Structure 1
Amino acid sequence: MRFHLMQTGVVGRRHEIEAGMAGQRPELYQRFLEEVRGYVQLADELGFYGYCQPEHHLQIEGFEANNHPGMFSLFVGQHAKRMHAGIMGYTMTTHNPVRVAEEIATLDHMLQGRLYCGFTRGYHARWVDSYAAKEGISATTPDNVKARDEQDAKNRSLFEESVRVIKKAWTSDVFSHKGEHWEFPPNGGSTGHPAYAKYGKGQDADGIVREIGIAPLPYQRPHPPIYGGFAASMRTVDFWAREEGKMIVLSDNLDFCETLNNRYIESAAKAGRTATGADASAWGGFLMLTDDKDRAARLLEEHMWFWDEWFIPLGQRPPNVLIGTADEIADKIGRAHDRLGFDELFLMFGQGHLEPEANQEELEQFVSKVAPRFSVKAADGTLV
């Protein structure tokens, strides 16, 4: 089994966030970078497969400071020797997909394949509305998804088309695309250049650019592994089954998780591919490892304050919580693994909430007491 760490991107301890505007305090952001550097280096030494973060912008309160997926993943990759950087992920309702395809491919070369990436739809209106790639696009919420309202439909349509464009750019030397939201090159083509005809492709006999290509193509062929961030609806499951993306599901409702897996496997078969539970999804939750019951209660209170203050008003349910002793956490992982058949575990941890010493001890305890029950160390030291 591969193990991944996932940070929330918190800048500031609770008392600093409660003081207001923690996200704009330079000393807190400098401390955040230094602490993340330490977590990356420790995780690399311990044998974690990847370290990842979501994309969020305009977070002046300090709850989620992950404002450039590619740049931050480069920061992770530069401070690790073997560990992969994970983008979880680009919010594709706020980006030009060809530019994202090129950016990820370039990063893939810089890290020589130590990269994987996910794509998300965007649930936080303040920044999704301000960054929207197309007019009329807004954030989506669990309520929008359930109601299948117009806002959700527009968001989903743009998201799905954008992911398809990225994959087309990654797997073609030159290509064209005309869809509901995007057209590459633009209608009528673009002005050409003599060198395009001599040394490239995509220009017609009249000197008009009819196809484009990114440079470079990805280091990994055909492209870096793709993940679907936090799937929760059957339409999203169907999409990732068609596009060969692995879902990340942070839920303790194993009936729900199994339903998602079964739907994925069925949809993949309809698309002409065979999938297993390991292909369908990765599992995980928020790690709180301690033998001290009182400390466990304090940890849960601290993390739930964060969740209640930030995520619940946005319609996000609390994640699965892996709390307790090493034996208790291992038992919970084991039961989920036996039911779902996953081979990757994503662990959120107390980055930002807790002091580095507490987080470091927890990660070391996890690797020494829990991970060996599900993995061995490869020749390069990575847990597999």
Structure 2
Amino acid sequence: MKFSLFMYCTIGRRHELEAGLAGLNNDYYQRMLGEIAEIARFADENGWYGFGHPEHHLQIEGFEISNDLNLMASWIAQHTTRLRPIACGYVSTTHNPMRVAEQVATLDHMTGGRLCFGVVRGYQHRWVDQFKIRPDLAAVGKWNRGTDEDDYNRRFFEEFVDVVLTALRSNTFSYEGEFWRFPNDNLNPHTHTVYSDYGAGVDADMTIHEVGIAPRPLQSPHPPLYGGFTMSMSSAVFWARYGGTPIVLSDKMDFCEALWKAYREEAAQHGVDKPRGHECGWGGVAVCAPTDEEAWAQFADMEWFWNQWAIQFGQGMPLQLVGSPDTISRQVEEAQTLLGIDEAFFLVPQGIHSADQINASLELISDKVMPRFA
């Protein structure tokens, strides 16, 4: 079984966040970068598979100051040799899919073929509305779930994913969809013989009929693909079409079993063959300590964070992998027995806890939990 970490890129401790405008404090940001490097190095040296992080902007409060996925993935890669940065994910409503494909392929080279990536729909209105690339797009969440706005966002997202993967998998291609057309101008305005003599997709009369990104991804056909945190059957089934791995942080084992089954059935219809247990990633918020009592005491600040931040976006508290190594091992064993999970995700209270606290928790997991599932 693979064990991966996920963080929100939180800039400060609880009392620092409560003081307000923590995201504007450069000393806190410098400390955060150093602590992320410490956590990444520890994970790299102790057999962890990946280190996931999201994309969010304009975070003057500092709760989730993750910003550019490529830069954070590069920071993680800079301080590690084996650990995979999991850039999860590019917010579709705020990017050009061709540019994302190009960035993913380039970053795959710059990380030595260690990159993993994901694409998400965008749920934080404040920043998404400032960064969105079309005026008719909107963030999605509990306030507009099931509306025409939600449906429009989903159609855009699904086409966006299709363009990104088409670009990553094809040397050159053309694409015509509801939202995107590539190439979007079929005649180069001046003669450039390099295009027609040494390239592909451009005729001698400068008609452009296909385009392609360079470089090609280092991993073939592209880096491993993830879906962001989901509790939605429809989202999981969508990723099955492409062999992507949605991340599910849930203790509702009956729901997980149904979701894994639906994934397999949809994947089979699209010729996607993944071994049992590889359908989705599973996990939860993680704090490990020598005793359950110590772990739950440490979890209090992360619970405060979740209630202040995620709950108001409509995200309920996920599974809590909180306790002693034996307690957490039992939770993982139950999930593995039922689902055959290939990858477990541990969402750590980075920033809320110091790097020393995080690494003490990870040391217990590395030494006393992970070997049981080797």
Please report the TM-score for the alignment, with normalisation by the length of structure 2: 0.96
Structure 1 counterpart of 2:158, from 135, 160, 166: 160
Question: How far has the Cα of 1:273 moved from its partner?
Answer: 3.2
Kept in 2, the 8 Å contact 1:269–1:275? The answer is no
Kept in 1, the 8 Å contact 2:292–2:322? The answer is no
Q: Give CA deviations for 1:154-188 in whole Å, capped at 9, x if unaligned.
A: 11111111111111111111111111111111144
CA RMSD of aligned residues (A): 1.4
Secondary structure of the equivalent of 1:57?
coil
Match of 1:45 in 2: 45
Question: How far has the Cα of 1:93 moved from its partner?
Answer: 1.7
Alpha-carbon distance between aligned partners in 2 of 1:297 and 1:344, rounded to the nearest angstrom: 24
Q: Give CA deviations for 1:130-152 in whole Å, capped at 9, x if unaligned.
A: 1112221111114644xx21111
Aligned in 2, Cα 1:260/1:216: closer, same or farther, shift over 3 Å? Answer: same
Match of 1:170 in 2: 168
Alpha-carbon distance between aligned partners in 1 of 2:7 and 2:187, rounded to the nearest angstrom: 43
Alpha-carbon distance between aligned partners in 2 of 1:84 and 1:29, rounded to the nearest angstrom: 23
Q: Give CA deviations for 1:321-351 in whole Å, capped at 9, x if unaligned.
A: 1011111110010001111111101111121
Matches within 5 A, 1:1-384: 1-142=1-142, 144-145=144-145, 148-191=146-189, 193-375=192-374
Kept in 2, the 8 Å contact 1:265–1:276? The answer is no
Question: How far has the Cα of 1:190 moved from its partner?
Answer: 3.9
Matched residue count: 373
Alpha-carbon distance between aligned partners in 2 of 1:233 and 1:121, rounded to the nearest angstrom: 13
Match of 1:381 in 2: none
Kept in 1, the 8 Å contact 2:73–2:87? The answer is yes
Question: How far has the Cα of 1:276 moved from its partner?
Answer: 4.1
Secondary structure of the equivalent of 1:40?
helix
Query: Which moves more between the two structures, 349-358 or 291-300?
Result: 291-300
Alpha-carbon distance between aligned partners in 1 of 2:183 and 2:107, rounded to the nearest angstrom: 24
Kept in 2, the 8 Å contact 1:20–1:61? The answer is yes
Match of 1:379 in 2: none
Aligned AA (1:3): F
Question: How far has the Cα of 1:271 moved from its partner?
Answer: 1.7
Secondary structure of the equivalent of 1:284?
strand
Aligned AA (2:37): R
Query: Which moves more between the two structures, 323-332 or 128-137?
Result: 128-137
Query: Which moves more between the two structures, 228-237 or 312-321?
Result: 228-237
Aligned AA (2:315): Q
Question: How far has the Cα of 1:60 moved from its partner?
Answer: 0.8
Identity, in percent, stands at: 43
Gaps of 5+ in 1: 376-384
Please report the TM-score for the alignment, with normalisation by the length of structure 1: 0.94
